[in-house]
Structure 1
Amino acid sequence: MGSQGSPGGERRAASQSLRPLTIKQIFSAEQAHTDAELYIDGVEVTQVTVVAQVISIQTQTTNSVYYLDDGTGRMEARLWADSSTEDDGIDNRGVKEQTNVRVTGALKSFSGKRYINATNIRPSTDPHELYFHMMEVMYVTLVHQRGPPPRAGETISKVSASASTSTNGNYSAYTTPTTTTAASDKYPDVGPLARRIVEFILTQPTRPEGTHVAAIARHVKVDAAAIRRVPFILFRLF
């Protein structure tokens, strides 16, 4: 991935930011070879944070190895000894087995094995922290894949233009493209009726409840039953 131009610069800046992830996402990260950088959604990932349960802890002279499970997979987090701590030099910060923790650190790969080189491991005592983390993971992932949602007072055209230079070069999934040609380009293999439906939906303002089937039927001049027989459109759009 190059660092020239705005998109490359954005990817490089994103790689230095702390990204919330699940363990499954970490294992699915792309890597050209065993010593190459790890990429998720086309963005280099270095600093990560996960919330998981500690299955076991192995304390050694120079480090402690925490075996983590977040429900999507299992992996190790390694916390190295700090000469500023007491006793053996490793500060476990009250972390115990079979409890939840938040782990922050650098994502590493050694001999094909991925692990977190932890800079901080602390108990996660709030039961809502796990749910917050999972929602944050979903939000950040969608922003990388589909572009950011519109900000307060921002017009659809501005958001669409911004999304066109996002990490995947597509329009934001949270906005309506300003032209209907997007349907022709993005869905070349759909039938005539499906294409007309898609083109109409793309011209409608974004509403939480979506576009009513009656409005679609009036526009494409077919009955509502015919609209309901094209359910795959929903999956193609999203």
Structure 2
Amino acid sequence: MIRFALALALPLALVTATHAADLPAGTWAANADGTKGDLVIKGIKNGEVTGSMLGTDFTGTWNGKVLTFAIGTSTYEAHLVTEPGEKDQTKYTLTGTRAQSNRVESRVVIHIAKTGWYAQMTAATPVPQGEIAAQVRGVLVLDGTTAYVSVKRKAGAEIEETRIWVYASEGEWKKLNRTLPPLNGKEVTVTAKLSQMTSKGASIPEGALYFLGQFEPKLADLPK
């Protein structure tokens, strides 16, 4: 009996991202102590944020919770708050303080005045990111231009089989046709991410599990 379900004895690990909400890029409606305009988040990379506030460009930082940037003598800091919107939308609000530095010439000191500011936008709720990672142990079967790892287990009087397929491009198959034949029919282990074929007409069956990324099987260690 051949099954394509995940329920058979594969050591699977479902990993889902649980990090803080991402800061959406785009145009936000901003209000800085009564002055209204646009906060534009142009890009976020490695914690560095580029954008503009009320028409003035800035480069700031984003640590996953707090946005910080400076324009002239003003430093803006805000925490991100999210709440459900309508029809799979999320409402994002940045709320915090603006610290304005003013030099007092007669006293040779700098006076810092703090006021409030916020910015809001509504965007599509992001789809949670996850992955299925597995260490698969089974027999490699090479059949012409197709290959899979066969994992078998005894279920009562029957032997159940799960096949995890190799899904590769034409260029990748040129390399696999050289590296896989010596492993054909042998027990191998593969540590990789898995996915499920949802389209028809592919080189592997619809609904089948397949290895994501480069396929790199290794000979399994024989029991001592």
Same fold (TM over 0.5): no
Higher helix share: 1
Which of 1 and 2 has greater Rg? 2
Q: Which of 1 and 2 has higher RCO (CA within 8 Å, sep 6+)?
A: 2
Higher strand share: 2
The alignment's TM-score, normalised by the length of structure 2, stands at 0.29
The alignment's TM-score, normalised by the length of structure 1, stands at 0.28
